[in-house]
Amino acid sequence: MGDNLIESLVGVTLFRGLSAAEIGSLMAHATTETFAEGQPVFEAGAVERALYILLDGTVEVELSVPFVKDVVLDQLDAINIFGESSFFHAQPHSVTVRAVTEATVARLERTAYDQLLDSNHLAACRMGANAAEILAAKLRQTDSWIADLLQAEEAHRVQQKWWDFRQTMGHAFDKPEGGGFSTGAGWR
């Protein structure tokens, strides 16, 4: 990987606190692969543990929801990272990532990362600590989103109950014969 590319990774949150030399030492263990437009980088359900750094191009992150069409969650451009959930937690991918344009990615295998950790590689340890912070922030955002969704659902439920109640009452006032307002109008 070129020095310019390594320098551009210095600003990536996952590499916060790492020098260009430390990032370079991590990326020396990554492989580079190019994907054609429309080609998946990985698909939901695939079991693989790798971290991807999008070096060039654009990819889409798609979530497949049963009984609903696939939903594009995000579109990523160069110098973005994806695949971190399965990289740090041994589970199948929950999304499909597909190249929108020709896309070049650096792929760091979890086995290579584990070897770095086993040798007490400081940059790998810092990257892991940064990942924990990033994933904790994502979890907090998800919790907040769920709370907002539940509040909206509760507001909708209350509104529906109010509407149902109003329907049982009928109209509050009948229109009087003369067309004017009368406080003597009856309740239904």
| Tens digit of each residue's pLDDT (9 = 90 or more) over 121-131 | 999 999 999 99
Q: What pLDDT is stored for residue 182 in this prediction?
A: 47
Q: Measure the CA–CA gap between 105 and 165, rounded to whole angstroms.
A: 58
Mean pLDDT of 89-115: 95
At position 160, the amino acid (one-letter code) is Q
CB 61 within 8 A of CB 74: yes
Q: What pLDDT is stored for residue 120 in this prediction?
A: 92
In the predicted model, is pLDDT for residue 172 greater than 80?
Answer: no
In the predicted model, is pLDDT for residue 173 greater than 60?
Answer: no
Query: Which of the four pLDDT bands, split at 50, 70 and 90, describes residue 154?
Result: confident
Q: Report the predicted TM-score, pTM, of the whole model to 2 decimal places.
A: 0.74
Instruction: Give the containing element (helix H, strand E) for 113.
Output: helix 110-118
